[in-house]
Amino acid sequence: MKTKLVRIFLVVSLLTMGLLLATPTPTFACHGRITIVKDTDPDGGAGFNFSGDLGSFTLNDDQSETFYKSGGWYNVTESVPSGWDLDSVACTGGDYETITNGVKVHLESEGQHITCTFTNKEIALEMEKTSAVSDAPLMPGSTITYTIVVSNPASSGSQTNIVISDTLPTGTSYVPGSTQVTVETTVFHKTVRDEFKVISYGNNNGSVNWSGDWQEIGDDGNASSGRIRIVNERLRFREADHNDGIKRSADLSGATSAHLSFDWYKEDCEEDISVYVSADGSSFDLLDTFTGKWTGDSESYDISAYASANTTVRFQNVAGNWSHDNDVVFFDNVQIEFWKRETSTAPGGDPPNLAAGYSLLPGDTMTVTFQVTVDNPIPEGLTQIVNAACVTSDQVPDPNCDTTTDPIRTCCIGATSITFKNVSSGNVDLWFYEGTHVDHPNAPYDPAYFAHFDNVPPQGTITLNASVYFPASGYFPEYIYNYGSGCHWGWDIQLICDDPASLAVGNRSPDGGGGQKLEVMQVVWEGDCECQPGDMDGAATLVRTDNKVYWDITNNSSNPLIITMIELNWPSGNGNLKTVKLDGATIFNQQRAPTYAMIDSGWAGTLADRTIEVGTSSRTETLEFEFENLAGDPTLTEPYRIGVQCFGQGCYDDVGEGSKPTVITLSSFAARSGAGGLPSGLWPRLVGLTILATGSLFGIKRWAG
C-alpha cells in the first residue's frame, strides 16, 4: 500500500511541474481569454475608464488588457469622456452583443480568445471666421462684414447647445439688426436594405421599406428557383443567360445625398457582371463591372445625382451566356443610405452673444454673419481691427476661436470736416460744389451744389461734415468750390492731406472786390498723415516702347501710397501727352502740350486707381505715359524728368536717356539733392534733379527702345 501511494504522488507532481514549465502564460483548464483594445480617432486619446464583470481599468489609445475567465457571459462598459463619442465596439473570436456604451461577450470553450476593440472618435466643432471690407485698408465709416462658419464633422457625434460669441472689436460700432444665423441641417437619415436572410424578393431590412420587390429580368421571377435566386442568405446568379438581371427601386424623394453599397463574390466564373443605377427606372447608367474569378469585395457608390421618387438599382449580365454550372456570382447586404438636408435663416443676437441653443448633427453646418462700421474718428494709435469669435457646445466646453485682422489706413486721404467763419460785415450766402471753379461756370445757379447756406451772419460759423455730404467715402473730395452771392466771388479750396497747398486754419477767401468773406477755423483730417521717408522707390526702370514711356514705383512702406501730384518733362518730339495710367487704370486723360506738365487735378478714375497698396514685402506698380508719338533718338538733349508726390512723400529723378544705365543710390541721391529738402509749402517746377521733403529713392534706371 505504501508503494502505491508513493507512485500516485509522483505522477501528480510531475504533471503539475510539466504544466508550469511548458506554459509561461496560464491556460487554465476550462478557461478562456477576453482582450479589450482601445483605438481613438485621432490617435493619442487617453484616460478611457472601463467597468463591469472584468473589473475596473483604464486604457489609452493603442493599449489593451487581457483577462482570463471561465465560461460564461461578461459585460464590459466604457465611461465615455467629454469630447469623445464611442463610435463602435467590434469583437472577434466568439459571440457578442453590443450594449449601451459597451459589449456583452460569451466564453464557451476552453482556450477560446475573444478580442473586443472599442473605437472612440473625438467630437470636434470646426470654425472658420472671415471678413469682407468695403474699403481696403479701412477708413472711418468703412463697413466690415464678418462671416463665422461652424461645422460638425461627419465623423463626429451630435453637438448640442452650441453658443457662438464675438466681442465687438475696438474702434467699431455694431450695425443694429445685422446678425443672421443660417443653419444647414440633416432632416432625416434613412436606409433601404436587403440582407437576403429570407427566401423572398420582398425583404426590407433598412429603416424604411423599398418601393417594391426585386424584379427579375429574363428569368422565372421566383426567389427560390431559376438562374437567379436566393441561396444561403445571398442573391445568386448561376449559369446566367445574356441580359439576365434583377432590379429594385426606392423612393429617395427630397434626398440631398445618397450612397449605394453591397458585397459581392464570384466563384469559378470568368464572365462579367455589371451594376447600373437609374433615376426614373428606365434609363440606366453603368456604375461598375466585375471581372475575374474567385474574387469579391465590398463596394460603395455616391448616387446622389440619381435621388428621386423612383431610384432603381440593377444587377445584370450584359455579356454572353454563362455556359458552365460553376459560373456563380453572389450579392449581399444591398443598401441605399440617404439623407435630406434643409437650410433655415433666422435673426441672431447683438455682439457678443450672436447665437445660442443650436444643435448640429454630424455633417451639419451653421453660418453667422454680422456687420460693424469703423468709428469716426478712429481711436488714436489704432492701426488694425482685430476680431475674435469663439464657439462652444455641451460636448466641446472649451472654446474654439478664430481671429480676423483688417488694417486701417493710417495715412490720411481727405478731410472729414471743415469749419468756416464769416469775417465780412454782412450776411453771406454760400454754395459748395465738388470740383473746381471752371467745372461750375453757372454757379450759384448750377443745381449740382452739395451744400447751401443762407444768411450766415458776421462772425457766424458753419461746419461741413463729410459723413453728411459724402457718406459713402466719409471724407471730402480733393477740392471743394465755394461761390458766394452778391459779389459772385469764387474760391477753389484744395483739400489734399498733408499737401502744402491744401487749406489750413487761418486761410481766407480771396478778395473778389467785396472784401474777404470766409476764414478757415478748423480742418479735421482723417487718420495720421505722417508718412515716413523711404516709403517709395521711384525710377527703378524707365522703358520706352512705341509711343509710351513706363516708369516703375515701389511702395516699401507699411501704408498705401496715393499719388496726389505728377510733374513731367518730356522731349518735344513726342508731341502731346495723351494719357497717364497706373497699372493699366487710366488716372489722367486730358491732353497736355509739350514739354512740361504738372498734374494735380482733373484726375480720371477713382481714388483706388491712384493707390499703390501694400504687398507682402513691397508692391510695385507701373506709371504709363502715352504720347502722340515717340522720338527714337536715344541721345536726345531733352531728357525725361518725372516727379511724383504721395501725401507729401516726394520722389523725383532725372530719368534722361543716356548711352548706359546709371545706378542711383540713397547716399548719392541725398548728396545731389542737398540737405533739408525743399522749402516748406512749395511745390517747385522740376529743374534738373530734385527731391521733395524727406523722400528717398534708390534702384536702377535704364531706357529701352
Higher pLDDT, 215 or 437: 215
| Residue 397 vs residue 91, higher pLDDT | 91
What is the residue whose three cell numbers read 440619381? 306
Q: How many residues does the chain have?
A: 705
Identify each DSSP E strand in 123-239 by its residue range.
126-133, 143-151, 159-166, 172-174, 180-194, 215-217, 228-231, 234-238
Which residue shows C-alpha cell 443694429? 176
- pLDDT value, residue 501: 67
What is the model's pLDDT at position 203? 96
Q: What is the pLDDT of residue 208?
A: 94
Between 546 and 477, residue with greater pLDDT: 477
Return the C-alpha cell found at 461. Answer: 460759423
Q: Which residue has the higher pLDDT, 557 or 364?
A: 364
Q: What is the mean pLDDT of the chain?
A: 78
Across 551-560, average pLDDT: 69
Q: What is the mean pLDDT of residues 666-686?
A: 24
Which domains are seen in the chain, by residue range? 24-122 (2.60.40.10), 126-179+348-394 (2.60.40.740), 190-340 (2.60.120.260), 415-525 (no CATH), 536-701 (2.60.40)
pLDDT band at 647 (very low <50, low <70, confident <90, very high): very low
Output the pLDDT for position 704.
Answer: 27
pLDDT for 640: 61
Q: Work out the burial of residue 215: count CB atoms within 10 Å of its CB; fewer than 13 is exposed, 13-18 middle, 19 or more buried.
A: middle
Residue 163 contacts residue 401 (beta carbons within 8 Å): no
How many alpha carbons lie under 13 Å from residue 2 in its C-beta half-sphere?
0
pLDDT in tens, 589-622: 888 888 888 887 788 888 788 887 776 556 777 7
Instruction: Tell me the per-residue pLDDT of 48-71, one tens digit each, with 9 for 90 and over.
Output: 999 999 999 999 999 999 999 998
Phi and psi, residue 609, nearest 5°: -65, -25
Average pLDDT on 417-427 reads 89
- pLDDT above 70: residue 433: yes
Statement: residue 235 has pLDDT above 70: yes
Structure-block grid coordinates of residue 88:
463602435
Stretch among 114-128, 140-154, 686-700 having the lowest mean pLDDT: 686-700
Whole-angstrom CA distances from 557 to 110, 462, 614, 642, 696 are: 81, 37, 7, 21, 12
Most distant CA pair in the chain, distance = 154
- For residue 34, is pLDDT > 90? yes
Q: Could you read off the pLDDT of 511-555 as tens digits, one per residue?
A: 777 788 889 988 887 654 443 333 444 433 445 555 777 777 777
164-202 residue pLDDT tens:
999 999 999 999 999 999 998 777 789 999 999 999 999
pLDDT of 578 strictly over 60: yes
Please write the tens of the pLDDT for every residue from 290-335. Answer: 987 778 889 999 999 999 999 999 999 987 778 766 788 999 999 9
| The predicted structure's pLDDT at residue 413 | 65
d(CA 505, CA 472): 26
User: What's this model's pTM, rounded to 2 decimal places?
Assistant: 0.41
Confidence tier at 638 by pLDDT (50, 70, 90) = low
For the chain, percent of residues with pLDDT exceeding 70: 78
Instruction: Determine the pLDDT at residue 156.
Output: 66
Q: Is the pLDDT of residue 388 over 80?
A: yes
* Residue 635 Ramachandran class (φ > 0 left, ψ -120 to 50 alpha, else beta): alpha
Does residue 499 register a pLDDT over 70? no
Residues 6+ apart with CB under 8 A from 398: 392
Cα-atom radius of gyration of the chain, to the nearest Å? 42
